[in-house]
Structure 1
């Protein structure tokens, strides 16, 4: 059974609990020929003006950069045994601003939600490290599915699609 909700707040606690337990997400991008590519990563999320906003600290690999340049729509899929899952549809954009990188560095340290982040210092020297790249993930749809009954709730931004 799928229920559509008007406000992200209705599913926010389930969203945070699920991704906090699961941690790792499968990120999907597509190449110039429309073929999907997946990779397992750990984005962090925050609520900005009542909407989920994601951030991904990552390496700007040639494949990832080409895919996002060709089609910035990405999907992040979380799943765990028992069929708890979350699907997050976003539009990704590279952000090079140092203040944003500092904000993302702090978000990962604080973990958003608890359990989903990590210390970026394990991979990069500081927010100013030239090898650290950040993707802003503007979320336009979230689906939370809970348990074996496959109860599904979907939030979708009214201004995105």
Structure 2
């Protein structure tokens, strides 16, 4: 399947679910998962996501050792989608302000006011605010109807592996 076929379905499902379980791996190959809130952008050619996050020492160490993240979305309806991604940290002021605005002005339910996060009360240039850019190399979208009714199809796409 091509990216232009799966990307819109992935973005629609991910944005409707909003929260993703995200896994990283440390230097000793031990995984750790957390719940994060990505926002995705599809321009008809490229798909990438952004995560607004606190740049914790654990996240920094994991992504320094292995700059990949696996994200899985699940809804009670049994809709699921996932993205395996390359990850880049952005701590420059211009990018952080841009990413802050993406969330502050994003469509419901994925958009939100970043000021609600106590660590970010000083705004997008705070030391406690960073942006992660996600570049997927594998996507999977499975509507609930596939599992619960045997109707539809699982959509998968694999790009160039890191």
Match of 2:61 in 1: 66
Deviation at 1:148, TM superposition (A): 3.8
CA distance change for structure 1 residues 49 and 97 in 2, over 3 Å: closer, same or farther? farther
Q: Which residue of 1 aligns with 2:109?
A: 115
Q: Distance in 1 between matches of 2:101 and 2:158?
A: 27
**Which structure carries more strand by proportion?**
1
**Aligned equivalent of 1:143, options 140, 143, 150:** 140
SS in 2 for 1:149: helix
Distance 1:93 1:27 in 2: 15
SS in 1 for 2:154: strand
CA distance in 1 between partners of 2:13 and 2:43 (Å): 19
Question: For the Cα contact (< 8 Å) 2:89–2:131, is it kept in 1?
Answer: yes
Q: Cα–Cα, structure 1 residues 48 and 160, in superposed 2: closer, same or farther, change >3 Å?
A: farther
Structure 2: runs of 5+ lacking an equivalent: 148-152
Distance of 1:69 and 1:39 partners within structure 2: 17
CA distance in 1, matches of 2:79, 2:114: 27
> Size of the alignment, in residue pairs?
154
Secondary structure of the structure 1 residue equivalent to 2:77:
coil
Cα distance in 2, alignment partners of residues 16 and 93 from structure 1: 20
- Give the alignment's TM-score, normalised by structure 1: 0.87
Superposed counterparts of 1:1-161, under 5 Å: 5-6=1-2, 8-48=3-43, 50-111=45-106, 114-123=108-117, 124=120, 125-150=122-147, 151-157=153-159, 159-161=160-162
Q: Higher RCO, 1 or 2 (CA under 8 Å, sep at least 6)?
A: 1
Separation in structure 1 between the aligned mates of residue 84 and residue 57 of structure 2, nearest angstrom: 22
Normalised to the residue count of structure 2, the TM-score between the two structures is: 0.86
CA RMSD of aligned residues (A): 1.7
